[in-house]
Amino acid sequence: MSTPFTESGTDSDVFEFDEKISMLFVIQSASLSGIAITILIAYKLYHAVLRALRRRGRHQPDACDSSLFLTLMFGESLRVVGKVTILKWFNEGTITSPTAFCYAQGLIQTIGTNLIDWSTLAITIHTFLLLVLQWSGPAHIAKYLALGVWLMVGLIVGLTFGIRGIEIIGPAGQWCWVQSRHKTEQLLVEYLWMWIILVLTIVFYTIDALVIKGWVVIEGGARPRWVASEDRVQLKLTQADSEEERANKKMAVQLLL
């Protein structure tokens, strides 16, 4: 039987003093992240206004203009909202559930975390393809990867809550998320992908470092070859045959750093 989507509900356990101190740290760190994101957005808007007023030539995009970076920042913003709203439970001393607020907090954190994880993997793949494999991809490859991120997140979140229902969200420690008794759903909605993406990111960036430093060369057919110390040459990351390819590689370098 579905739970009414209202603000009424039953209280979870009352938070102890040490739990409230921990919640305070989470709220403060999320607030600092939110301030950093706001400053970045304000900085980009400021320069956009300046360019419009001065009517200068063609704008050279940087990493902050990348669809992947913007998706990553949007995911981080959602996670900030999810963490800052812990303040409600901090003030009340307990989590009230099932409530619309609790459901919203759980959904926001789930979407935000998945956007961050999948954006991280997409940036890793983007860097690997352009800088390591020296692939001359389409001009809008970052946009295609960003679209893939949104599709994956929509599929994961939509299927999980569409099949199991939003009622699986409830008190999960110091905030609302998929409750601990729904282990399979916790795994499928976040944990499984988080660990897979972590392992893949480590593998790809290890290969990136070896190739960029000249320790390994990727030959035709994507075959790696170890290079003797006396023959090692550091890879020129932005070297390209066309201006478009050079711009793509420059963007990939900025995302890498």
CATH code of the domain covering residue 89: 1.20.1070.10
Q: How far apart are CA 112 and CA 63, in angstroms?
A: 20
pTM reported for the whole predicted model: 0.79
Residue 142 lies in a domain: yes
Q: Using one digit for the tens of pLDDT, what is the confidence trace for 220-250? A: 656 666 665 555 555 555 554 445 455 555 5
- Can you tell me the distance from the alpha carbon of 64 to that of 74, in angstroms, rounded to the nearest whole number? 12
Cα-based distances in Å from 126 to 59, 130, 177, 216, 256:
22, 6, 31, 19, 9
Please list, in sequence order, all residues whose beta carbon lies within 8 angstroms of the beta carbon of residue 199, skipping any fewer than 6 positions away.
none
Q: What is the pLDDT of residue 224?
A: 66
Pairing of strands 96-97, 169-171: unpaired
Number of domains in the chain: 1
Class of residue 119 by CB neighbours under 10 A (exposed 0-12, middle 13-18, buried 19+): buried
Predicted local confidence at residue 227, as pLDDT: 62
Residue 2 lies in a domain: no
User: Is 1 a member of any domain?
Assistant: no
Place of tokens 């759980």: 106
Number of Cβ within a 10 Å radius of residue 225: 8
Instruction: Tell whether 6 is covered by a domain.
Output: no
Tens digits of residue pLDDT in 170-200: 999 889 999 989 999 999 999 999 999 999 9
Judge residue 222's burial from the number of C-beta atoms within 10 Å of its C-beta, 0-12 exposed, 13-18 middle, 19 or more buried. exposed
Task: Please check the confidence at residue 63 and state whether its pLDDT lies above 70.
Answer: no
- How far, in Å, CA of 202 to CA of 194, rounded? 12
**In the numeric block, which tokens belong to residue 79?**
């996670």
Mean pLDDT along residues 121-135: 82
Helix then strand then coil, in percent of the chain rounded to 5, is 65, 5, 25
% residues pLDDT > 70 (the chain): 71
- 102 in any annotated domain: yes
Structural domain including 40 reads 14-256
Whether residue 151 has pLDDT greater than 50: yes
